[in-house]
């Protein structure tokens, strides 16, 4: 599993773009060729604690990433569900 640190993400829009670019690059997919979806993750009934991003690739294959707001990291998963990369976001002030 790869661990990296990213310093330049300052907004949710930048995070969303970064996750999409990373998933496309990691799995050799054409940018802007596949749709994405996102789901807000909640702790309990009210407090949001992150977002799950899903890239819907060819042949119904799904690639995903989870942003853990409190931990300040993004976890990337392949189509089998195995985590292959972790990104630590430093100095991030991302709000949903």
Q: What is the pTM of this model?
A: 0.88
Q: Is residue 94 part of a domain?
A: no
Q: Is residue 64 part of a domain?
A: yes
Percent of the chain with pLDDT over 70: 97
Shortest CA distance to 51 belongs to which of 25, 6, 89, 3? 89
**Average of pLDDT values for 12-16?**
92
User: What is the per-residue pLDDT across 17-58, written as a single tens digit (0 to 9) for each?
Assistant: 999 999 999 999 999 999 999 999 998 877 889 999 999 999
Q: Is residue 96 part of a domain?
A: no
Q: Which domain holds residue 55?
A: 2-89
* Total of domains in the chain: 1
What per-residue confidence (pLDDT) applies to 46?
Answer: 79
What per-residue confidence (pLDDT) applies to 78?
Answer: 94
Q: How many CA atoms lie within 13 A of 59 on its CB side?
A: 2
Q: Is residue 25 part of a domain?
A: yes
Q: Is residue 95 part of a domain?
A: no
Q: Is residue 53 part of a domain?
A: yes
Shortest CA distance to 64 belongs to which of 83, 45, 47, 40? 83
């Amino acid at each position: 599993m790869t661990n990296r640190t990213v310093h330049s993400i300052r907004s949710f829009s930048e995070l969303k773009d970064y996750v999409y670019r990373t998933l496309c690059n990691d799995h050799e997919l054409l940018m802007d060729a596949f749709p994405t979806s996102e789901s807000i993750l909640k702790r309990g009934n009210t407090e949001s604690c992150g977002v799950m991003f899903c890239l819907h690739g060819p042949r119904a294959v799904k690639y995903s990433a989870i942003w853990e707001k409190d931990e300040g990291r993004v976890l990337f998963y392949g189509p089998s569900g195995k985590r292959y990369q972790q990104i630590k976001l430093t100095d991030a002030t991302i709000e949903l």
